[in-house]
Amino acid sequence: MDPNTTTTEVAYQFLPYFRAYKNGTVERFFGTDIVPTSTDLQAGVSSKDVLIVPETGVSARLFMPATISSTTTNHVKHPLLLYFHGGAFCFGSPFCSTYHNYLTSLVAKANVVAVSVDYRLAPEHPLPAAYEDSFDVLKWVVSHYNGLGPEEWLNHGVDFGRVFVAGDSAGASIAHSVALQAGVEDLGLGGVKLLGACFVHPDFASKEEGPTGAWFFACPITIGSDDPRINPGIDPRLPKLGCSRVLVCVAEKDGLRRRGWHYYETLGKSGWDGVVDILETQGEDHVFHLFNPTCANAVALLERLASFMNQA
């Protein structure tokens, strides 16, 4: 940080959500509110916060349907969803009202246990920090497979044969990275099965459409369109994606729409031994479902995600 640099010199901004200055000052205008954990009686969902990696401060907000009892083992196990919020790798939080409310609705509709990840944000923690944090959370989840992990909600309530990852926008990029790493690394999974992945309005790149400015700001060491972290289509490891089902969701008016289609088409031709499907919502823009969650298209998207996680 240069003490002679004033806060008026902007390094990068993504208005109306985020602004960073050349002297290191960061202003976030979205995702900074904190909703207390609670039991939502109307939705039938409880939430709690858990510190996962004390050394880095990585934590998560857990969501549990009311149908699960954390004190008994005599009940049906539920799928587990590992969710990564969007925000251009620079803003957003599982604790803010937007994501807390959306995960509550998704858990209620899908009847799953969810772990909404609070990964470290750029620019204070440049990429690949968010990818590393998120994979650490997957390893933490796996540690509960034998019912001996540190979190009772996971020990008692989860069917580890039905684990899913999902995310929106930049969070979809993180979800892909986690699923891919799970396919190429030995996690000691045992009976844990990463069954599916949902990428909602993903922030990917291609040779034709390079990374957004947010990517270059969040990942200063990137090589741009040739970076497989943001352009999965050039990654020779893509056929090893560590799940058997993928759902890509795009929106007609979204500037990132074509990137989602490119991922869908490339994955389908990659030799990956799985099933990929795509859902395009007409007349909507990027992450519309987060900001207008009660509209008909948002309800339909929620139902599709819930159905995806409840397929046999």
Q: What are the residue numbers of the active site?
A: 169, 254, 286
Token output for 70: 């954390």
Task: Round to whole Å and give the CA distance between 106 and 298.
Answer: 11
Q: Which of 241, 259, 242 is nearest to 250 (CA)?
A: 259
CA 50 to chain CA mean position, Å: 17
Task: Round to whole Å and give the CA distance between 80 and 113.
Answer: 5
Task: Round to whole Å and give the CA distance between 289 and 299.
Answer: 8
Task: Round to whole Å and give the CA distance between 46 and 100.
Answer: 11
Q: For residues 284, 278, 137 and 93, what is the CA-based torsion angle, rounded to 10 degrees?
A: 0
| Dihedral angle sign, alpha carbons of residues 188, 197, 46, 132 | positive
19 strand-pairing partners: 13, 27
Residues with Cβ within 8 Å of 53's Cβ and at least 6 positions away in sequence, in order, are: 133, 136, 137, 140
Task: Round to whole Å and give the CA distance between 15 and 85.
Answer: 18
At residue 266's C-alpha, the angle toward residues 122 and 180, to 5°, is 50
Q: For residues 125, 127, 133 and 134, what is the CA-based torsion angle, rounded to 10 degrees?
A: 140
Give the pairing type, strands 113-118 and 158-168: unpaired
Q: How many helices (H) does the chain have, and how many strands (E)?
A: 8, 12
